[in-house]
A and B are shown apart, each in its own frame.
Chain A
Amino acid sequence: MSTLELKQVTKTFGATKVIHGIDLAINHGEFIVFVGPSGCGKSTLLRMIAGLEPVSTGAVEIDKAVVNDVPAAERGLAMVFQSYALYPHMSVRQNLSFGLENLKTPKPEIERRVAEAARMLRMEKLLERRPGQLSGGQRQRVAIGRAVVREPKIFLFDEPLSNLDAELRVQMRVEIGNLHQRLGNTMIYVTHDQVEAMTMADRIAVLKDGRLEQFGKPLDLYNRPANLFVAGFIGSPRMNFLSGKIAAVRNSSVDVALDAGGTVTVPCAADGALAGAPVKLGVRPEHIRLTDGKEADVKLSVTLTEQLGGESYLHGALSSDEALSVRLAGQTQVKRGDAVGLMLADPALRYLFNGETGKAFPPLA
């Protein structure tokens, strides 16, 4: 059993604070993804867990023991680096066995583990090559293999797929997923790509500016984003945000008067908000439907249509000059310059955020 717990962890470089007190508890066997835009501190957080970066304040606990002062070498973790960091002067076999030799693992044991990892990652034929003689995908597998042979308590991945082309990335995503299935270890995976996060994670930690924005299962993040940032970050294409004001507060819903005209009802708890307060209405492009006639909530002047065959996107502006995107199933006749009426999603799929704090209005219980 290996669990990881972060308690009020902060990190300061010189005078700048880059991690502002993060609390996180990770269970054994979980696949956790740290996601966020570049500069959000996700890599720093991972390196602090690894022991490559000292913790400024707070505590990192592995299996209930504080490891703040335990050197990286002794934490029993393994890491896959963004650049793979394979030792260029060693063969693949030496790359894999270097760590085990440092731990004074007996020779036969080293050989057994290297052979097993090589088989698992299908690189038996590459063992005598140098990293310079491998393709990008092969290097990636060696880097993972180097972590696997260590049989670590926790695997750490630092944007491991960012140097691969799109096709390989999808393939490696599946392989890492399979690896997790098979080994059952705890894995922490850092990426800036929300698709990777959504597809791989058991739970996702969304970070921004050194703060934890939300931590939860992928679909929870999609269905119940805690704030504007998470709502905008998770989901592709991005959620549309429309400005408006609270027109009326009811028992189980709020009426919002949009700047773009029209009033929509959002079922949620008002959370103490009063009429007239500024809000943002969030609607995902895939939840918007075309309509004509009176039931249209807003009107969109289309500036661009993208036809992908199986689906289509409309991009345009509302009367308030706010940009808005719509995803339609199948193909469409709408052209640039057309004005179309839109129905802004089922009420249950509308999200309302505080215009000042960005926090989501809590859904009805």
Chain B
Amino acid sequence: MSGISEQSAKPAAHPVSDAVGWAWGMLGDVLDGPFRALQKHIGANKMAYVFLLPNLLVFGLFSFWPMILNFYIAFTGGQSVILAERPFVGLGNFRELLDCPSYLDPKTCPVAGFSFWTGIWNTLFFAVVQVPIMVVVALVTAIILNRDIRGRGFWRAVYFYPVMLSPVVVAVIWDWILKRRGILNALLEDATNGWNSLITTRPFAVASVFLIGFFAGHLFLKVLPARLKPLYETQFKPLMLAAGLAVVTAVMMLQGSSFSFDWLALPDYRPVNWLIDTRSGWPMFWVIFVYTWAHLGFYMLILLAGLQAIPKDLYEAAEMDGTPKSRAFWRITLPLLMPTMIVVLVLSLIRAFQVFDEVYVLTGGGPGQATKMIIQHVYESAFIGDAKRYGIAAASSVLVAGILLILTLIQLTATRKKAGG
């Protein structure tokens, strides 16, 4: 028993924990009165229902009831929040959303349909691009962190840190970076100017010639007939070629010859309006980038946990069998990580489909409708502007819920497989 070796262990008592324990006990005793009386009345076993009650009340009122209500509202019109005052419009809302000559071109839809389909296509594009990129980067990061890396805890913590930040904070930070007069533009401008002035300096010319000489020397070595190779290697090393060329360049420059590397100059930097530029894909690019930046750490963590759950002795057994490392990766790591991968994929897909906060604060769905996501459509239909179209929002929700339900069911099946296997 471990206790024997812990004879000198500190006593359990501690002033702070004592005080907390005392307060805890007091609070429990105060609440004990009514509960004890109740227990006396209904019996110990029925107390289970008492313990369940608060939870079920909240669940019922704020999850189940709204879910049912949602279907009803989807079939009503008007702007009232009072159910009785909402006229029944049958499939009217759905017709407005779905009555398009072409879903691929939302402009052909009614107003609500335009907003809905724009959101759907944007969200779909977002999800289809963002999820694979994020999962791959998360996987690569997790695999690297699963190596025998020093300071793993530190790296893991830093990568995870953005997950803790609120979407609003994330959006404010990146908005500030991506403004026209923002840090990114300033950095790129400085870098361009720096490069353009660097290439006119003499040391740059000498260094460039040296490098060119070095690589040319190596290249020469490759194409040289084998018979001449020993001579070249002993007498005429690439390094010497490079150094020689560099010295010649330097001397010539001192004599007044001018070497021009102007052809390397970059055009003057013109600041980009990253988040507002309507003619480019930059806004969507940055939306995807920022969202990935903020959520990568979470999926990395899950994948890392999955990797670390793979028993080490499997790899040792593989090593005993003389299995190459790469083969062990493809035949052991990936198959055993597959259940976690599926969970991560589906979970990130579901989350991506519900993206709202970051994008809404970062771009507000703009420029125009370029980054307007489906949940923003629901939100704006119901809560923005003078016409509060709750019916449209509810009908859209029903359609989105259908998509999410399918994704969730896939996830549950995958999770069950993981638990079972």
Interface of chain A residues 107 through 137 with chain B (CB within 8 A): 128-130, 132-136
Q: How many Å lie between the Cα of A139 and that of B13 in the bound state?
A: 18
Contact with A along B18-49 (1 / 0, CB 8 A): 00000000000000000000000001100000
A240 within 8 Å of B (CB atoms): no
Partner of A135, one of B4, B11, B13: B4
Cβ–Cβ contact A130 & B44, under 8 A: no
Interface of chain A residues 79 through 105 with chain B (CB within 8 A): 91
- For chain A, what secondary structure do more than half of its interface residues adopt (helix, strand, loop), or is it mixed? loop
Contacts of A133 in B (CB 8 A): 3, 6, 9, 12
Cβ–Cβ contact B1 & A128, under 8 A: no
Cβ–Cβ contact A91 & B44, under 8 A: no
Cβ–Cβ contact B44 & A71, under 8 A: yes
In the complex, residue of chain B having the shortest beta-carbon distance to the beta carbon of A92: B12
Q: How many Å lie between the Cα of A258 and that of B119 in the bound state?
A: 93
Cβ–Cβ contact A91 & B11, under 8 A: yes
Min CB distance A131 to B, Å, is 8
Q: How many Å lie between the Cα of A138 and that of B7 in the bound state?
A: 12
Cβ–Cβ contact B12 & A135, under 8 A: no
Q: How many Å lie between the Cα of A49 and that of B3 in the bound state?
A: 33
Contacts of A129 in B (CB 8 A): 9, 11-12
Cβ–Cβ contact B3 & A135, under 8 A: yes
Q: How many Å lie between the Cα of A132 and that of B13 in the bound state?
A: 14
Contacts of A134 in B (CB 8 A): 1, 3
In the complex, residue of chain B having the shortest beta-carbon distance to the beta carbon of A136: B1
Chain A interface extent, by class: 10 to 19
In the complex, residue of chain A having the shortest beta-carbon distance to the beta carbon of B2: A132
Q: How many Å lie between the Cα of A222 and that of B11 in the bound state?
A: 49
Contacts of B6 in A (CB 8 A): 133
Q: List 22 A-B contacts (CB under 8 A).
A: A71-B43, A71-B44, A91-B13, A128-B11, A128-B12, A128-B13, A129-B9, A129-B12, A130-B12, A132-B2, A132-B3, A133-B3, A133-B6, A134-B1, A134-B3, A135-B1, A135-B3, A135-B4, A136-B3, A138-B3, A139-B1, A139-B3
Contacts of A128 in B (CB 8 A): 11-13
Q: How many Å lie between the Cα of A258 and that of B1 in the bound state?
A: 52
Q: How many Å lie between the Cα of A134 and that of B12 in the bound state?
A: 12
Contacts of B13 in A (CB 8 A): 91, 128
Min CB distance B55 to A, Å, is 24
Contacts of B9 in A (CB 8 A): 129, 133
**What 7 pairs between A and B have smallest CB-CB spacing?**
A128-B11, A135-B1, A135-B3, A134-B3, A91-B12, A130-B12, A136-B1
Contacts of B1 in A (CB 8 A): 134-136, 139
- For chain B, what secondary structure do more than half of its interface residues adopt (helix, strand, loop), or is it mixed? loop
Residues of chain B at the chain A interface (Cβ within 8 Å):
1-4, 6, 9, 11-13, 43-44
Contacts of B11 in A (CB 8 A): 91, 128-129
Q: How many Å lie between the Cα of A284 and that of B4 in the bound state?
A: 42
Contacts of A136 in B (CB 8 A): 1, 3
Min CB distance B24 to A, Å, is 11
Contacts of B43 in A (CB 8 A): 71
Q: How many Å lie between the Cα of A71 and that of B41 in the bound state?
A: 12
Q: How many Å lie between the Cα of A72 and that of B332 in the bound state?
A: 53
Q: How many Å lie between the Cα of A129 and that of B13 in the bound state?
A: 8
Q: Which of A91, A132, A138, A139 has the most CB of B within 10 A?
A: A132
In the complex, residue of chain A having the shortest beta-carbon distance to the beta carbon of B6: A133
Other contacts beyond A71-B43, A128-B11, A128-B12: 14, CB < 8 A: A91-B11, A91-B12, A91-B13, A132-B2, A132-B3, A133-B3, A133-B6, A133-B9, A135-B1, A135-B3, A136-B1, A138-B3, A139-B1, A139-B3
Q: How many Å lie between the Cα of A296 and that of B166 in the bound state?
A: 93
Q: How many Å lie between the Cα of A129 and that of B8 in the bound state?
A: 10
Min CB distance A40 to B, Å, is 27
Q: How many Å lie between the Cα of A358 and that of B44 in the bound state?
A: 44
In the complex, residue of chain B having the shortest beta-carbon distance to the beta carbon of A73: B44
Contacts of A130 in B (CB 8 A): 12
In the complex, residue of chain B having the shortest beta-carbon distance to the beta carbon of A74: B40
In the complex, residue of chain A having the shortest beta-carbon distance to the beta carbon of B44: A71
Q: How many Å lie between the Cα of A138 and that of B11 in the bound state?
A: 15
Q: How many Å lie between the Cα of A139 and that of B3 in the bound state?
A: 10
Q: How many Å lie between the Cα of A130 and that of B11 in the bound state?
A: 8
Q: How many Å lie between the Cα of A134 and that of B11 in the bound state?
A: 12
Q: How many Å lie between the Cα of A135 and that of B11 in the bound state?
A: 15
In the complex, residue of chain A having the shortest beta-carbon distance to the beta carbon of B1: A135
Contacts of A138 in B (CB 8 A): 3
Min CB distance A123 to B, Å, is 12
In the complex, residue of chain B having the shortest beta-carbon distance to the beta carbon of A125: B7
Contacts of A91 in B (CB 8 A): 11-13
In the complex, residue of chain A having the shortest beta-carbon distance to the beta carbon of B11: A128
Contacts of B12 in A (CB 8 A): 91, 128-130, 133
Contacts of B44 in A (CB 8 A): 71
Min CB distance A83 to B, Å, is 14
Contacts of A139 in B (CB 8 A): 1, 3
Contacts of B3 in A (CB 8 A): 132-136, 138-139
Min CB distance A98 to B, Å, is 10
Contacts of A132 in B (CB 8 A): 2-3
Contact with B along A59-73 (1 / 0, CB 8 A): 000000000000100
Q: How many Å lie between the Cα of A71 and that of B43 in the bound state?
A: 8
Min CB distance A214 to B, Å, is 35
Q: How many Å lie between the Cα of A91 and that of B18 in the bound state?
A: 11
Q: How many Å lie between the Cα of A139 and that of B1 in the bound state?
A: 10
Min CB distance A36 to B, Å, is 29
Contacts of B2 in A (CB 8 A): 132
Q: How many Å lie between the Cα of A139 and that of B11 in the bound state?
A: 16
Q: How many Å lie between the Cα of A91 and that of B17 in the bound state?
A: 12
In the complex, residue of chain A having the shortest beta-carbon distance to the beta carbon of B40: A71
Min CB distance A81 to B, Å, is 17
Min CB distance B16 to A, Å, is 15
Q: How many Å lie between the Cα of A130 and that of B12 in the bound state?
A: 6
Q: How many Å lie between the Cα of A133 and that of B3 in the bound state?
A: 4
Min CB distance A122 to B, Å, is 15
Min CB distance B12 to A, Å, is 4
In the complex, residue of chain A having the shortest beta-carbon distance to the beta carbon of B25: A101
Contacts of A71 in B (CB 8 A): 43-44
Min CB distance B30 to A, Å, is 14
Min CB distance A330 to B, Å, is 39
Min CB distance A70 to B, Å, is 11
Q: Which of A71, A91, A133, A139 has the most CB of B within 10 A?
A: A133
In the complex, residue of chain A having the shortest beta-carbon distance to the beta carbon of B43: A71
Min CB distance A11 to B, Å, is 16
Min CB distance B47 to A, Å, is 11
Min CB distance A52 to B, Å, is 10
Interface of chain A residues 22 through 61 with chain B (CB within 8 A): none
Min CB distance B29 to A, Å, is 9
